[in-house]
Amino acid sequence: MEGFFAPDDRLVLLAHGRFPDHAKTAVGVLRYGEADVVAVLDRERAGTRVADHAPGLPDAPVVASVDEVAGDADALVVGIAPSGGAFEAAWRPDVRTALEAGWDVVAGLHDSLAEDSEFAALADSHGGSIHDVREPPADLPLGTGAAADADAHVVLTVGTDASVGKMTTAVELVRAARERGVDAALVPTGQTGILVAGWGVAIDRVPADFVSGVVEQMVLERAPDHDLLVVEGQGSIGHPAYSADAVGILHGAGADDLVLVHDPVRETLTGFDAFPVPDPATSVDLYESVAAPVHPSKVAAGALDTSVAPSDATARDWLDEYESALGEPATDPVRFGADVLLEHLGAGSA
């Protein structure tokens, strides 16, 4: 599977009016991406720097438009996704200028930029490419269960709900593994993960018959080059809307280990208030029993979102409780790092 950009590419992130609080994708690319971010576009914050808004991130200038980016870049990445995923007309001049400079344009919107006739013509005449990363590849394979035999240790993040930290946990696991010298890679299944890693397939747009097959193909393609693959999960197994994504990925990944991601203060499913969040032990049973007929994947560790805990001590109390429920070690990968999980996942050493 071809990538959308390379690890040493120089990126410009479009985040007009929304950086950093409503630019989850841009922040993810800054925090976790391998490519070099040379500027962020936000005309409301032009003249500031990333460090002024989000001190933990790699620094870069915030400018008003592509015209004001100093030096050259390889790609403009649309790092915001408004509700509905529509392309906004106010972004058009930046996309136009980027394409005229011969850059690629990479976007995870619902609207296809490659099908925009002006953009397509500009890309054609200036040699850039337009990548709509949410668009599934044309040739989709059926699952066969073969990822169970992949030549790498495969970990999949699963959740008690959607939007609970499966992507964050996956990228933190990859980062912690690399810091230990383990050759680890992310297998991205959603737009932010794809823009972090520069490749991947947005599973939510893949037709039901091919969900497991696409994940299996990604695992089998990347396994020979790495010792640890961390597959980004989507949705949740007992969810009124997103269960097809979760179960298809579960069977496609053929994971050795599952990491169950949970939010200890969330009472009902995000956006689905009529449904309580299943308790962690029930979720463990569901994931393991449904995985078993294809490949026996076990929940070997937990990840907890303790961001609202008032102190590390409270967060540790929550983790203790979560570990008891799972019978497995757990961490908050953002607050305490993912390192504690790695040895337990059988992937701790180079």
Residues 271/262, Cβ–Cβ less than 8 Å: no
Strands 75-78 vs 130-132: parallel, antiparallel or unpaired: unpaired
286 binds a copy of itself (CB under 8 A): yes
75, two tokens: 């790609």
Contact string (CB under 8 A) for a copy of itself, positions 264-283, x = contact: --------x-xx--x---x-
Residues 270/163, Cβ–Cβ less than 8 Å: yes
314 binds a copy of itself (CB under 8 A): no
Helix, strand, or coil (residue 62): strand
Alpha-carbon distance of 87 to 80, in angstroms, equals 10
As measured in angstroms, the least distance from the Cβ of 234 to a copy of itself is 8
If the CB atoms of residues 50 and 150 are measured against a copy of itself, the closer one turns out to be 150
If the CB atoms of residues 171 and 237 are measured against a copy of itself, the closer one turns out to be 237
Looking at the DSSP assignment, which residues form a beta bridge with residue 331? 303
When binding is defined by CB under 8 A, the residue of 206, 228, 284, 300 that contacts a copy of itself is 206
If the CB atoms of residues 112 and 282 are measured against a copy of itself, the closer one turns out to be 282
241 binds a copy of itself (CB under 8 A): yes
Tokens 């393991």 locate to 288
248 binds a copy of itself (CB under 8 A): yes
The DSSP letter of residue 237 is: T
Stretch of 45-53, 98-106, 234-242, 308-316 lying at the interface with a copy of itself (CB under 8 A):
234-242
As measured in angstroms, the least distance from the Cβ of 349 to a copy of itself is 31
191 binds a copy of itself (CB under 8 A): no
Tokens 């933190």 locate to 172
Tokens 């460090």 locate to 51
Residues 132-161 that bind a copy of itself (CB under 8 A): 142-145
How does DSSP assign 34-60, residue by residue?
Answer: SSEEEEEE-TTSTT-BHHHH-TTSPP-
Which of 186, 205, 183, 189 has its CA nearest to residue 197? 186
If the CB atoms of residues 46 and 290 are measured against a copy of itself, the closer one turns out to be 290
Tokens 């991601």 locate to 261
294 binds a copy of itself (CB under 8 A): yes
313: left (phi over 0), alpha (psi -120 to 50) or beta: alpha
When binding is defined by CB under 8 A, the residue of 118, 209, 312, 320 that contacts a copy of itself is 209
84 binds a copy of itself (CB under 8 A): no
Rounded to the nearest 10 degrees, how much is the dihedral formed by the CA atoms of 179, 185, 189, 195? 70
239 binds a copy of itself (CB under 8 A): yes
Alpha-carbon distance of 71 to 265, in angstroms, equals 46
If the CB atoms of residues 118 and 285 are measured against a copy of itself, the closer one turns out to be 285
As measured in angstroms, the least distance from the Cβ of 137 to a copy of itself is 14
If the CB atoms of residues 91 and 287 are measured against a copy of itself, the closer one turns out to be 287
What residues line the site for a copy of itself (CB under 8 A)? 142-145, 203-209, 211-213, 234-235, 237-248, 250-251, 272, 274-275, 278, 282, 285-286, 289-290, 292-294
